[in-house]
Structure 1
Amino acid sequence: MAPDLTLRLATVDDVPAIDGLIVRAVHGLQRADYSQDQRDAALGHVFLTDHGLIADRSYFVAETRSGQLVGAGGWSDRRALHGGHTHGDTGERIDPATDPARIRAYYVDPAYARQGIASAILAACEAAARGRGFSRMAMGATLTGVPFYARHGYVAHGEEQAPLPNGQALTVVLMERAI
């Protein structure tokens, strides 16, 4: 990650900036993988600020010296693969002895893509999950994120369709790795 960027835990005060980051990331980085209609319908439904991660203090943000948020991502010890409406996160906790921790809600500003931000956030998430006793991580990755996660040792083991309110769906790739 560039030396002029810092990584820290997100707070409730960051929500408006995270919301803006999500829109920039989804429309700027996912256009080759999902249609405009899919992206529009997914915003606020599948792609949204994960308030549960912020409350759990497991959501990281990367920011510039001027305070602009340019990346976000987190991990969870809750059952749901993501905090979007399609999974209805009940808050049920998972057991680190038998279940993988979840990687959730990763977004990078297109102007800062491929500068190590997502890698730094992923390393922070994996370290925090290891510290809580987890030995595996799992996620439902967007098609856009699959190459990134594969470079970090995550292996695809299936797909699911995240339904959208416009009747369409997003393909999500289920991935996992030992940490």
Structure 2
Amino acid sequence: MSFQVRTSTQADSEAVTALLQKSYAVLLRDAYAAEILDKALPLITKARPELLVSGSYYVAEDDAGRIIGAGGWTKQSPTGEDETPDNGNIRHFGTDPDHTGKGIGRSLMTRCMSDALDAGIAEFNCYSTLNGEAFYRACGFQSVEPFPITLPGGVVFPSVRMSRSL
């Protein structure tokens, strides 16, 4: 299977949302209790318009033009914490569960790192899902601390803050 990574646009909103819904519903279920996912999934699976047009959010498309992966980085932290003048933050990664293990996530991460280095970023933070920790570790990230994220409505979503030098 071949795929291409490109910068996202606002026109990708529906396809990225569909990807995140499919990805997170399948891939998170072994790491989180059903009652957490029932509340969290509607909040975390929507494409973020500001990311789609940021110039640093990317999609992976298969040869038929279907989005099978997405992810990016921003200077701003999604939590508003742990920001420094020379760090960036990995944002809203997801891979179609039918296509995991095929290098899609790694290709998106490689693009993030390359573009971030070009922008003068020296370090990445990441607020990983519990099941995503192994992927980020394989990409050179170190676990820093458990980091519960409070979502709208008071939903507490366990995550892990991770970091890596670029």
Q: Could you state the TM-score of these two structures normalised by the residue count of structure 1?
A: 0.85
2:133 corresponding residue in structure 1: 146
- What amino acid sits opposite 2:23 in the alignment? A
Pick from 99, 106, 118: which aligns with 1:112? 99
Between the aligned partners of 1:113 and 1:171, the Cα distance in structure 2 is 22
2:9 corresponding residue in structure 1: 11
Shift of 1:35: 2.1
SS at match of 1:21: helix
- Equivalence map 1:88-99=2 (5 Å): 95-96=85-86
Equivalenced residues, count: 164
Pick from 36, 47, 50: which aligns with 1:38? 36
Shift of 1:38: 1.7
Shift of 1:166: 6.0
- What amino acid sits opposite 1:161 in the alignment? P
Farther-moved stretch of structure 1 (126-135 vs 32-41): 32-41
Shift of 1:168: 4.2
Shift of 1:34: 1.1
1:132 corresponding residue in structure 2: 119
Residue 120 and residue 39 in structure 1: after superposition, are their counterparts in 2 closer, same or farther (change >3 A)?
Answer: same
Between the aligned partners of 1:159 and 1:47, the Cα distance in structure 2 is 21
1:48 corresponding residue in structure 2: 46
- What amino acid sits opposite 1:36 in the alignment? A
Q: Do 2:40 and 2:155's aligned partners in 1 also have CA atoms closer than 8 Å? A: no
Q: Could you tell me the percent identity over the aligned residues? A: 27
SS at match of 2:160: strand
Farther-moved stretch of structure 1 (47-56 vs 150-159): 47-56
1:163 corresponding residue in structure 2: 150
Q: Which structure 2 residue ranges, 5 or more long, are not aligned?
A: none
Shift of 1:175: 0.3
Residue 59 and residue 123 in structure 1: after superposition, are their counterparts in 2 closer, same or farther (change >3 A)?
Answer: same
Between the aligned partners of 1:65 and 1:37, the Cα distance in structure 2 is 37
Shift of 1:45: 2.1
1:63 corresponding residue in structure 2: 61
Q: Do 1:23 and 1:43's aligned partners in 2 also have CA atoms closer than 8 Å? A: yes
Shift of 1:47: 3.7
Shift of 1:149: 0.6
